């Protein structure tokens, strides 16, 4: 006789078996039904083409299938748009999120979950504490750039009688060290400027670049096993306890006035760290709590990375392009002399932020380098909903990236000679290196255009002026190579340079 209990058990078991078999299929069908219709075409591009010839590969695909295409890269689908949709993608913030897109592409998803206001805080800090007081910043850091340029010239002077052969250095070594010291002075204050801390600043900037995937395209593991690579690279940040302890000791030792951070931040005379101490101090005790310390440390690391690594890489592009184009060196040297009265000496410079702004030829040269250096996938957003665009619908939660080369090298935007490098192209046009629009956006566009671009360009100008004040840069073999054509903004060109006296003919 079959008991009701056994029948109940069998029916229950059968129900769960059916549920396990049918449930996933049902959920998959529901998900399939909810997917937006009219998705952009998925274009298969060989990996070798993506990483070695990205401009040609993406431009060809967009020309044939555009204005929106989907391409799988590093294990994920990305949507690429042509220049007709650039402005829409980069300025429609409620549909295309800068914060979500940047956190996603830089492997900072969980970091942003922990520090939800990170990007807003960084933007506010750079706008109100650094960019708003550029005259003071330039006054503080210009001697640093001139010192490093003078030391480099002495090191590389190839006309000394005892020199057996010409010496060369990687340009990134010079720009990284110069900017690291300058930003340590601005961000952390003069008390932190010593060889040990400066080395830590350099390493932090480099290692965050590794963690955020900026060197991923040059790694076999990074391109073939991206998830494993992302997990492994986060381990590099455990090495900087000493620097973080120094920050903690300073914040705990001082008593801060919270009113200073709200009254007139642009008038604040101390370091960025001091300002953050004022901003996040407890109004009752005047002390910094542990959670505030974590937030301050995250902001300090973020500014160090953005201001050191990115600017140092771009500065190498400018130096190497200048070395490749000696016809511009004399003109920029003359402009420096006309503005500052400097004649082959690093000791007589009277440089202010106003002086840097007067350097129209140098500014034009920098803008032209940024326009032509080969940007492709440089500025991204993440969809916050399913978005109709270009006759298609891009689903929610996907990266959308305008192909920068279609704007930067467009004959429609820049004339029939758009492919030609013309360092004087922008003189007298009113378009500075920091002026962005949909035809030129190396610093992004819209609400989230880089708030520190004025500082970045000023630092590049100071680096160039330090070099051409008394010397000419020359590249070994007369050329450089591009290690990562897909990420030229964050990965500097590879090559070695030397310096010769300005009156020396190589």
Which residue in 241, 248, 260, 230 sits closest to 295, CA to CA? Answer: 248
Other beta carbons less than 10 A from residue 127's beta carbon: 14
CB within 8 A of 174, min separation 6: which ones?
A: 148, 149, 152, 463
> Among 274, 303, 135, which Cα is nearest to 208's?
303
DSSP H or E run through 395:
none
Tracing tokens 């009277």 back to the chain, one arrives at: 350
Find the length of the chain.
506
In this structure, are strands 96-97 and 76-81 parallel, antiparallel, or unpaired?
A: unpaired
Per-residue tokens: 210: 């590794």
**Phi, psi torsion values for 80, nearest 5 degrees:** -110, 135
Q: Which residue, 47, 69, 72, is CA-closest to 59? A: 69
Give the 3-state secondary structure percentages of the chain, helix then strand then coil, rounded to 5. 60, 10, 30
Consult the annotation and say whether 450 binds a ligand.
yes
Residue ranges with strand state E in 429-479: 471-475
SS3 69: strand
**Cα distance between residue 150 and residue 144, in whole Å:** 10
Q: CA distances (Å), 281 to each of 70, 275, 276, 285, in order?
A: 47, 10, 8, 8
* Inter-CA distances, 377 with 66, 258, 310, 374, 489, Å: 16, 41, 15, 10, 9
What 8-state DSSP symbol labels residue 254? -
Is the distance from CB of 490 to CB of 106 less than 8 angstroms? no
Beta-carbon-side half-sphere exposure of residue 170 (alpha carbons within 13 Å): 10
Annotated binding-site ranges: 450
Annotated binding-site ranges for heme: 450
């Amino acid at each position: 006789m079959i008991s009701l209990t056994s029948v109940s058990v069998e029916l229950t078991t059968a129900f769960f078996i059916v549920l396990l078999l049918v449930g996933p299929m049902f959920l998959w069908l529901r998900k399939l039904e909810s997917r937006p219709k009219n998705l952009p075409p998925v274009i298969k591009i060989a990996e070798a083409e993506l990483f070695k010839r990205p401009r040609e590969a993406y431009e060809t695909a967009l020309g044939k299938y555009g204005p929106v295409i989907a391409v799988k890269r590093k294990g994920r689908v990305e949507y690429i748009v042509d220049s007709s949709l650039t402005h829409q993608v980069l300025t429609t913030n409620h549909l295309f999120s800068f914060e979500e897109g940047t956190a996603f592409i830089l492997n900072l998803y969980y970091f942003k979950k922990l520090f939800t206001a990170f990007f807003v805080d960084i933007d506010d800090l750079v706008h109100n504490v650094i960019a708003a007081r550029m005259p003071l910043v330039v006054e503080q850091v210009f001697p640093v750039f001139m010192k490093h340029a003078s030391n480099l010239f002495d090191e590389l002077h190839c006309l000394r009688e005892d020199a057996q052969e010409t010496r060369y250095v990687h340009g990134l070594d010079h720009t990284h060290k110069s900017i690291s010291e300058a930003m340590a002075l601005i961000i952390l204050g003069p008390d932190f400027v010593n060889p040990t801390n400066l080395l830590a600043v350099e390493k932090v900037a480099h290692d965050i670049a590794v963690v955020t995937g900026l060197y991923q395209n040059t790694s076999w593991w990074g391109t073939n096993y991206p998830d494993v690579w992302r997990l492994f690279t986060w381990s590099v940040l455990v090495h900087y306890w000493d620097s973080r302890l120094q920050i903690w000791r300073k914040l705990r030792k001082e008593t801060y006035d919270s009113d200073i951070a709200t009254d007139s931040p642009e008038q604040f005379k101390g370091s960025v760290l001091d300002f953050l101490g004022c901003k996040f101090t407890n109004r009752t005790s005047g002390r910094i709590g542990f959670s505030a310390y974590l937030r301050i440390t995250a902001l300090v690391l973020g500014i160090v990375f953005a201001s050191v690594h990115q600017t140092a890489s771009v500065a190498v592009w400018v130096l190497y392009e200048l070395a490749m184009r000696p016809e511009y060196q004399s003109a920029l040297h003359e402009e420096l002399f006309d503005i500052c009265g400097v004649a082959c000496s690093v000791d007589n410079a009277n440089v202010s932020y106003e002086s840097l702004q007067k350097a129209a030829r140098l500014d034009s040269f920098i803008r032209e380098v940024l326009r032509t250096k080969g940007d492709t996938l440089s500025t991204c957003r993440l969809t916050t909903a399913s978005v109709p665009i270009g006759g298609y619908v891009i689903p929610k939660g996907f990266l959308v990236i305008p192909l920068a080369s279609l704007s930067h090298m467009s004959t429609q935007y820049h004339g029939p000679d758009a492919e030609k490098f013309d360092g004087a192209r922008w003189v007298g046009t009113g378009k500075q290196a920091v002026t962005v629009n949909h035809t030129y956006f190396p610093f992004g566009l819209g609400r989230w255009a880089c708030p520190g671009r004025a500082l970045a360009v000023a630092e590049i100008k100071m680096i160039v002026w330090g070099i051409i004040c008394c010397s000419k840069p020359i590249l070994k073999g007369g050329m450089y190579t591009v290690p990562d054509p897909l990420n030229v903004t964050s990965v500097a060109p590879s090559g070695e340079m030397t310096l010769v006296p300005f009156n020396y003919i190589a």
